[in-house]
Protein backbone atom coordinates (compact mmCIF):
# COMPACT_ATOMS: atom_id res chain seq x y z
CA UNK A 1 0.00 0.00 0.00
CA UNK A 2 1.33 3.44 -0.96
CA UNK A 3 1.03 5.62 2.14
CA UNK A 4 0.68 9.38 2.24
CA UNK A 5 3.71 11.04 3.81
CA UNK A 6 5.49 14.36 4.32
CA UNK A 7 9.26 14.51 3.94
CA UNK A 8 11.42 17.41 5.11
CA UNK A 9 15.12 18.07 5.62
CA UNK A 10 18.07 15.80 4.97
CA UNK A 11 20.76 13.84 6.84
CA UNK A 12 19.82 10.76 8.87
CA UNK A 13 16.13 9.86 8.42
CA UNK A 14 13.61 9.78 11.26
CA UNK A 15 10.24 8.26 10.44
CA UNK A 16 7.37 9.35 12.72
CA UNK A 17 4.16 7.34 13.12
CA UNK A 18 0.98 8.56 14.80
CA UNK A 19 -1.47 6.75 17.05
CA UNK A 20 -5.03 5.55 16.54
CA UNK A 21 -7.45 8.13 15.06
CA UNK A 22 -4.50 10.40 14.25
CA UNK A 23 -2.64 11.58 11.17
CA UNK A 24 0.87 12.59 10.18
CA UNK A 25 0.36 16.06 11.68
CA UNK A 26 0.01 14.62 15.20
CA UNK A 27 3.79 14.46 15.69
CA UNK A 28 4.46 17.91 14.23
CA UNK A 29 5.70 19.24 17.56
CA UNK A 30 8.55 16.73 17.47
CA UNK A 31 9.19 16.86 13.72
CA UNK A 32 9.59 20.63 13.54
CA UNK A 33 12.39 20.43 16.12
CA UNK A 34 14.04 17.26 14.78
CA UNK A 35 14.12 18.49 11.16
CA UNK A 36 16.92 20.92 12.04
CA UNK A 37 19.35 18.00 12.38
CA UNK A 38 17.57 15.12 10.64
CA UNK A 39 15.42 14.24 7.67
CA UNK A 40 11.88 13.73 8.96
CA UNK A 41 9.26 11.54 7.30
CA UNK A 42 5.78 11.85 8.79
CA UNK A 43 3.34 9.24 7.57
CA UNK A 44 -0.40 8.57 7.56
CA UNK A 45 -0.85 4.91 8.51
CA UNK A 46 -3.43 2.89 6.58
CA UNK A 47 -7.07 3.85 7.26
CA UNK A 48 -5.91 7.26 8.52
CA UNK A 49 -5.39 10.72 7.08
CA UNK A 50 -4.90 10.71 3.33
CA UNK A 51 -3.59 7.14 3.09
CA UNK A 52 -5.67 4.39 1.43
CA UNK A 53 -8.29 2.39 3.30
CA UNK A 54 -8.27 -1.39 3.75
CA UNK A 55 -10.39 -3.96 5.57
CA UNK A 56 -7.17 -5.39 7.02
CA UNK A 57 -5.89 -3.62 10.12
CA UNK A 58 -3.14 -5.43 12.02
CA UNK A 59 0.48 -4.73 12.90
CA UNK A 60 1.96 -7.02 10.26
CA UNK A 61 0.01 -5.24 7.50
CA UNK A 62 0.73 -1.76 8.86
CA UNK A 63 4.43 -2.57 9.18
CA UNK A 64 4.54 -3.96 5.65
CA UNK A 65 3.16 -0.64 4.40
CA UNK A 66 6.09 1.12 6.04
CA UNK A 67 8.53 -1.40 4.54
CA UNK A 68 7.20 -0.46 1.10
CA UNK A 69 7.67 3.24 1.88
CA UNK A 70 11.22 2.65 3.12
CA UNK A 71 11.97 0.78 -0.09
CA UNK A 72 10.51 3.54 -2.26
CA UNK A 73 12.50 6.23 -0.42
CA UNK A 74 15.59 3.99 -0.12
CA UNK A 75 15.83 4.65 3.62
CA UNK A 76 18.79 3.26 5.55
CA UNK A 77 20.18 3.84 9.06
CA UNK A 78 16.62 4.70 9.99
CA UNK A 79 15.34 6.00 13.33
CA UNK A 80 11.71 5.14 14.11
CA UNK A 81 9.52 7.18 16.43
CA UNK A 82 5.98 5.95 17.05
CA UNK A 83 3.24 6.99 19.43
CA UNK A 84 0.77 4.40 20.77
CA UNK A 85 -0.42 2.33 17.78
CA UNK A 86 2.43 3.83 15.73
CA UNK A 87 4.83 2.65 18.43
CA UNK A 88 3.66 -0.92 17.99
CA UNK A 89 4.13 -0.57 14.24
CA UNK A 90 7.71 0.57 14.90
CA UNK A 91 8.33 -2.46 17.11
CA UNK A 92 6.85 -4.80 14.49
CA UNK A 93 9.24 -3.32 11.91
CA UNK A 94 12.14 -4.65 13.99
CA UNK A 95 11.11 -8.09 12.71
CA UNK A 96 10.88 -7.08 9.05
CA UNK A 97 13.77 -4.71 8.31
CA UNK A 98 16.14 -4.87 11.32
CA UNK A 99 19.18 -4.21 9.12
CA UNK A 100 17.73 -0.83 8.07
CA UNK A 101 16.83 0.37 11.59
CA UNK A 102 19.34 2.21 13.77
CA UNK A 103 17.09 2.97 16.75
CA UNK A 104 13.45 2.84 17.82
CA UNK A 105 11.63 5.29 20.12
CA UNK A 106 8.22 4.23 21.38
CA UNK A 107 5.96 6.76 23.07
CA UNK A 108 3.56 5.42 25.71
CA UNK A 109 2.83 1.90 24.52
CA UNK A 110 4.25 -1.49 25.49
CA UNK A 111 4.70 -4.68 23.44
CA UNK A 112 1.76 -6.34 25.18
CA UNK A 113 -1.89 -7.10 24.49
CA UNK A 114 -4.33 -4.55 25.91
CA UNK A 115 -7.83 -5.46 27.02
CA UNK A 116 -9.23 -2.07 28.09
CA UNK A 117 -7.77 1.25 27.00
CA UNK A 118 -8.79 4.89 27.02
CA UNK A 119 -9.96 4.34 23.45
CA UNK A 120 -12.64 1.81 24.39
CA UNK A 121 -15.27 4.54 25.08
CA UNK A 122 -14.23 6.22 21.81
CA UNK A 123 -14.95 3.01 19.90
CA UNK A 124 -18.38 2.75 21.54
CA UNK A 125 -19.19 6.41 20.81
CA UNK A 126 -18.10 6.11 17.18
CA UNK A 127 -20.20 2.97 16.75
CA UNK A 128 -23.26 4.81 18.04
CA UNK A 129 -22.61 7.77 15.72
CA UNK A 130 -22.37 5.42 12.73
CA UNK A 131 -25.52 3.47 13.64
CA UNK A 132 -27.42 6.75 14.03
CA UNK A 133 -25.81 8.11 10.82
CA UNK A 134 -24.92 11.35 12.56
CA UNK A 135 -23.35 14.08 10.42
CA UNK A 136 -23.94 17.08 12.71
CA UNK A 137 -20.81 17.91 14.71
CA UNK A 138 -22.82 19.08 17.74
CA UNK A 139 -24.78 15.83 17.85
CA UNK A 140 -21.59 13.80 17.50
CA UNK A 141 -19.97 15.74 20.33
CA UNK A 142 -23.00 15.15 22.56
CA UNK A 143 -22.89 11.39 21.95
CA UNK A 144 -19.21 11.42 22.86
CA UNK A 145 -19.92 13.29 26.09
CA UNK A 146 -22.54 10.68 26.95
CA UNK A 147 -19.80 8.06 26.68
CA UNK A 148 -17.59 10.01 29.07
CA UNK A 149 -15.09 11.43 26.58
CA UNK A 150 -13.22 14.53 27.69
CA UNK A 151 -13.50 17.79 25.77
CA UNK A 152 -9.86 17.61 24.53
CA UNK A 153 -10.52 14.08 23.22
CA UNK A 154 -13.70 15.21 21.48
CA UNK A 155 -11.88 18.14 19.85
CA UNK A 156 -9.07 15.82 18.74
CA UNK A 157 -11.52 13.39 17.12
CA UNK A 158 -13.57 16.11 15.44
CA UNK A 159 -10.42 17.36 13.68
CA UNK A 160 -10.85 14.22 11.58
CA UNK A 161 -14.53 14.87 10.79
CA UNK A 162 -14.80 17.02 7.70
CA UNK A 163 -17.45 17.43 5.00
CA UNK A 164 -19.80 15.17 6.97
CA UNK A 165 -17.42 12.19 7.01
CA UNK A 166 -14.59 10.76 9.10
CA UNK A 167 -11.11 11.01 7.61
CA UNK A 168 -10.17 7.76 9.33
CA UNK A 169 -11.90 4.50 8.44
CA UNK A 170 -14.19 4.32 11.45
CA UNK A 171 -16.00 1.13 10.37
CA UNK A 172 -12.81 -0.89 9.95
CA UNK A 173 -11.19 0.52 13.09
CA UNK A 174 -14.25 -0.52 15.10
CA UNK A 175 -14.32 -3.99 13.52
CA UNK A 176 -10.56 -4.47 13.86
CA UNK A 177 -10.14 -2.91 17.29
CA UNK A 178 -9.20 -6.23 18.90
CA UNK A 179 -6.30 -6.52 16.43
CA UNK A 180 -5.20 -2.98 17.25
CA UNK A 181 -5.16 -3.83 20.97
CA UNK A 182 -3.40 -7.14 20.32
CA UNK A 183 0.30 -8.00 20.20
CA UNK A 184 2.11 -11.14 19.11
CA UNK A 185 5.21 -11.67 21.26
CA UNK A 186 8.40 -11.49 19.22
CA UNK A 187 11.83 -13.00 19.74
CA UNK A 188 14.44 -10.81 21.46
CA UNK A 189 15.54 -7.88 19.29
CA UNK A 190 18.86 -6.15 20.03
CA UNK A 191 18.01 -2.81 18.37
CA UNK A 192 18.53 0.09 20.78
CA UNK A 193 15.04 1.10 21.92
CA UNK A 194 13.75 3.98 24.04
CA UNK A 195 10.33 3.78 25.69
CA UNK A 196 8.93 7.12 26.89
CA UNK A 197 5.95 6.77 29.22
CA UNK A 198 3.56 9.34 30.64
CA UNK A 199 3.65 9.50 34.42
CA UNK A 200 -0.14 9.82 34.53
CA UNK A 201 -0.78 7.16 31.88
CA UNK A 202 -1.49 3.47 32.44
CA UNK A 203 -0.29 2.35 29.01
CA UNK A 204 3.15 1.41 30.35
CA UNK A 205 3.16 0.21 33.94
CA UNK A 206 5.78 -1.54 36.03
CA UNK A 207 4.15 -4.89 35.27
CA UNK A 208 4.96 -4.36 31.57
CA UNK A 209 8.72 -4.10 32.17
CA UNK A 210 9.39 -7.87 31.86
CA UNK A 211 7.63 -7.97 28.49
CA UNK A 212 9.60 -4.93 27.31
CA UNK A 213 13.02 -6.23 28.34
CA UNK A 214 12.41 -9.83 27.20
CA UNK A 215 11.58 -8.65 23.67
CA UNK A 216 13.87 -5.59 23.59
CA UNK A 217 16.80 -6.29 25.94
CA UNK A 218 18.56 -3.05 24.89
CA UNK A 219 15.57 -0.98 25.97
CA UNK A 220 15.70 2.15 28.10
CA UNK A 221 12.53 3.43 29.82
CA UNK A 222 12.00 7.07 30.73
CA UNK A 223 9.01 8.60 32.50
CA UNK A 224 7.69 12.11 31.83
CA UNK A 225 6.06 13.29 35.05
CA UNK A 226 2.65 14.91 34.79
CA UNK A 227 1.95 13.63 31.28
CA UNK A 228 -0.91 11.44 30.12
CA UNK A 229 -1.02 9.18 27.07
CA UNK A 230 -0.30 11.98 24.58
CA UNK A 231 3.09 12.64 26.13
CA UNK A 232 4.61 14.28 23.05
CA UNK A 233 1.81 16.86 22.86
CA UNK A 234 1.49 17.57 26.57
CA UNK A 235 5.19 17.72 27.44
CA UNK A 236 7.04 18.26 24.16
CA UNK A 237 10.16 19.81 25.67
CA UNK A 238 10.57 17.02 28.20
CA UNK A 239 10.21 14.39 25.46
CA UNK A 240 12.87 16.15 23.39
CA UNK A 241 15.14 16.32 26.44
CA UNK A 242 14.99 12.52 26.61
CA UNK A 243 15.28 12.08 22.85
CA UNK A 244 18.34 14.15 22.02
CA UNK A 245 20.89 12.51 24.38
CA UNK A 246 19.58 9.09 23.35
CA UNK A 247 19.87 9.96 19.65
CA UNK A 248 23.39 11.25 20.12
CA UNK A 249 24.57 8.23 22.12
Known catalytic residues are 84, 229
Nearest by Cα to 126 from 79, 85, 162, 158: 158
Nearest by Cα to 88 from 70, 105, 73, 72: 105
Alpha carbon of residue 77 to chain centroid:
21
The CB-based long-range contact list for 88-94 (8 Å cut-off, 24+ gap) reads 88/59, 88/183, 89/17, 89/45, 89/59, 89/62, 89/63, 90/17, 91/186, 91/193, 91/215, 91/216, 92/59, 92/60, 92/62, 92/63, 92/186, 93/63, 93/66, 93/67, 94/186, 94/189, 94/191, 94/216
Q: 3-state class of 166 per DSSP?
A: strand
Task: Say how far apart CA 100 and CA 16 lie, in whole Å.
Answer: 15
Amino acid sequence: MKLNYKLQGNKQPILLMHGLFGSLDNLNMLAKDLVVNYQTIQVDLRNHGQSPWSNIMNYQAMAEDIVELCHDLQLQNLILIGHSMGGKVALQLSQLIPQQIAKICVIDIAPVKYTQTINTPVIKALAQCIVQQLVDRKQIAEVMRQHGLSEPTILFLLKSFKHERWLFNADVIINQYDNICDWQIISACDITTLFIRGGNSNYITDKDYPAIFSQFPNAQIETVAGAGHNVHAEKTEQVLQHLYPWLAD
